[in-house]
Amino acid sequence: MAPGTDERLMARAVRLAARGLYTADPNPRVGCVIARGEEVVGEGWHAVAGGDHAEAVALRAAGNRARGASVYLSLEPCCHHGRTPPCTDALIAAGVARVVCAQRDPDPRVAGRGFRQLEEAGIRVERLDRMAADARALNIGFIKRMTTGRPWVRVKLATSLDGRTALANGESQWITADAARTDVHRWRARASCILTGSGTVLADDPGLDVRLTLADLGLEGGPTPKPWVAIVDSGLRTPATARVFGRHDCVRIFTASTDTPATNALAAAGSEVIPLRQTGKGQVDLQDLLWELGRLRANEVHVEAGATLCGALLAAGLVDELIWYVAPSILGSDARGAFALPPLHAMTDRVRVHIQEVRHVGPDLRIRAYPIVDRDHERQ
């Protein structure tokens, strides 16, 4: 086999996994390539939860040529019965000789057991760790949920150059240009749910839907992705006439209120009202919120909210990633800021971030950054 063949075929498996970016949720995005030497004889990806796994699709395409072949997987094969049978059983039955994986599956039902089952059946198992980062990036939310019980929280912001989200009177349309607003729909499309606050619903009445089809997203034709909506509404202020109810099949409202008439009205509008633990100030406990989102199998949570909720998430160390669009304009000191945070008394109290990427999206900049979290605080 030529040098670099493993890397080339694993890169192909990762690209195949990316085809499930908008449809596989809440399952992981997985790609599979089956090859005899350098010749690909079958390939597949996990397209939709409940459908065939990547291994099953690739084995079907390879047929008898899978016997004695090498299998390249972006994630360890499952070894448990769910809506589909174990992929380890299928690989063993097909008589493959070698399985190369980019990463271990963090699902406690798998977590190395898939590798062991293959090895016990006489199949050689290899880890291609140098490809793990690319495979991990596709499943960052699934990995976090499986290892911590909580989803990956991605906060989207759109501000002026001086960090302002709206004028003092609340006018914010449009700070960024068309290209950035279209890009936002790509991030919405890959999320499990879109999280906002009741203040944003009252002020802007957003639809929070995805306005791109799979074809728009560069994939084979199919329906528009439909993440569900989560609203943090401590006092049940969300009106039953809000646009989100007409645009989403599933809207869940997380509250600290026990107001039965308001609960009944929102339920009649099509929402599920979920009471959570409250803080001493009568607000929804955000730690409890994330545990509940994890229980509901949300992998990636896309936050589009005002300064209050965004600031509270950031101050609590619950933001994993920032997607920040910066427009080439200045709104001035009277305009509204991006985060409502407690006053800082020393520079050591500032929130620091690691900037991963800066790129132009039309005339605007898009910054991807990761807050640097105090791990001791995170464990409390």
- Asked whether the beta carbons of 331 and 288 are under 8 A apart, the reply is no
Q: Which pLDDT value is given to residue 81? A: 67
- HEC string for 237-298: CCCCCCCHHHHCCCEEEEECCCCHHHHHHHHHCCEEEEECCECCCCCECHHHHHHHHHHCCC
Alpha-carbon distance of 372 to 112, in angstroms, equals 30
Q: Which pLDDT value is given to residue 221? A: 63
Q: Confidence class of residue 304 from pLDDT cuts 50, 70 and 90?
A: very high
Nearest to 153 by CA among 365, 354, 358, 370: 370
Catalytic residue IDs: 55
Mean pLDDT of 107-135: 88
| Cβ neighbours around 241 below 10 Å, total | 9
Could you say which DSSP state residue 225 is in? P
- Asked whether the beta carbons of 283 and 234 are under 8 A apart, the reply is yes
Residues 17-61: tens digit of each pLDDT: 999 999 999 999 999 999 998 899 999 999 888 888 999 999 999
Could you say which DSSP state residue 219 is in? S
Q: Which pLDDT value is given to residue 1? A: 64
Alpha-carbon distance of 241 to 13, in angstroms, equals 45
Min mean pLDDT across 187-191, 213-217, 263-267 is at: 213-217
| Cβ neighbours around 211 below 10 Å, total | 13
Q: Which fold has domain 148-379?
A: Dihydrofolate Reductase, subunit A (3.40.430)
Contacting residues for 260 by C-beta, under 8 A, at least 6 apart: none
Contacting residues for 135 by C-beta, under 8 A, at least 6 apart: 14, 17, 74, 75, 102, 103
Percent of the chain with pLDDT strictly greater than 70 = 96
**DSSP H or E run through 141:** helix 140-148
Distances (CA, A) of 160 to 220, 279, 328: 36, 33, 6
Q: Which pLDDT value is given to residue 216? A: 83
Mean pLDDT of 129-153: 93
Q: Where are the domains of the chain?
A: 5-138, 148-379
**Per-residue pLDDT at 224 exceeds 90:** no
Residues 315-363: tens digit of each pLDDT: 999 999 999 999 999 888 888 888 888 888 888 888 899 999 999 999 9
Alpha-carbon distance of 154 to 302, in angstroms, equals 5
> Which range has the top average pLDDT, 105-109, 197-201, 276-280?
197-201
Q: pTM of this prediction? A: 0.90
Architecture (CATH level 2) of domain 5-138? 3-Layer(aba) Sandwich (3.40)
Q: Which residue has the higher pLDDT, 335 or 1?
A: 335
